[in-house]
Amino acid sequence: MIPVQLQPEPLHFLREVQEPGQRFLNRTSNPTKHWKNHEYWRKILDDLDIAYKGICSYSCHWIPKDTGFRTVEHFKDKNSYPQEAYKWKNYRFVCGTLNGRKGTSENVLDPFCIEEGWFALDFPSLLVQPGDHVSPSIKEQVENTIRILGLNDEGTCFQARMNWLRDYIQVPFPFPYLEKRAPFLASELKRQDLMEKIRDIMIF
């Protein structure tokens, strides 16, 4: 994961999401049982995609619009925090797989609040791990986040990193393209001075 900057809410957010959502909350004593037909956040999925350049806030990989599973993820779970359900600052652009893995967990670090260096990538294993200089408390939170989100799961996140790196080496394509599509992987290659040397390290 890498730090993500909160982007300005769309001009139509207040009218299409926040105001109807607040009216629903005002007249519903237990909204957790009545979200259906009041999922107004879905109206701004494309806006969220554009604001965060199509990158999943957790996997840090591009989610294709045609075949990807794009979701509006409530960082503060809407059932536990219904008053946050219609607030732009509570939304993260996340692939459906990692949205499901996070679920209602409160032990996942917020990409809006993490700092550079908290998450690192080991080469050649491509495993996500805590940064070398984080405190013990931050290390524990990073490890919990990696475990809950399955950032080292072979069938999803790990395989995606492998695919992006293989294509970068074999196709090849320019490094700026990797930065746009897999920014965490690219930032770690750059930080570790492996942008070119990685071709001597990884064998596909």
Give a yes or no: residue 184 inside a domain. yes
User: Which are the contacts of 138, defined by CB distance < 8 A and separation ≥ 6?
Assistant: 118, 130
Residues 17 and 83 in one domain: yes
Give the separation between CA 148 and CA 121, rounded to whole angstroms. Answer: 17
Asked if pLDDT for residue 204 goes beyond 80, the answer is: no
Of 52, 77, 102, the one marking the end of a domain is: 102
For residues 155, 157, 162, 167, the Cα torsion angle rounded to the nearest 10 degrees is 110
Of 40, 71, 102, the one marking the end of a domain is: 102
Asked whether 164 and 181 are in contact (CB, 8 A), the reply is yes
Give a yes or no: residue 5 inside a domain. no
Residues 146 and 92 in one domain: no
Give a yes or no: residue 200 inside a domain. no
Residues 74 and 135 in one domain: no
Strand partners, 129: 120
Per the structure, the count of domains in the chain is: 2
Of 102, 132, 163, the one marking the end of a domain is: 102
Give the separation between CA 13 and CA 107, rounded to whole angstroms. Answer: 28
Give a yes or no: residue 91 inside a domain. yes
pLDDT value of position 202: 87
Residues 59 and 133 in one domain: no
pLDDT value of position 58: 97
pLDDT digits (tens, 9 = 90+) for 36-54: 999 999 999 999 999 999 9
pLDDT digits (tens, 9 = 90+) for 136-152: 999 999 999 999 999 99
Give the separation between CA 119 and CA 139, rounded to whole angstroms. Answer: 9
pLDDT value of position 29: 85
Residues 84 and 27 in one domain: yes
Residues 142 and 94 in one domain: no
What is the extent of the structural domain holding 91? 13-102
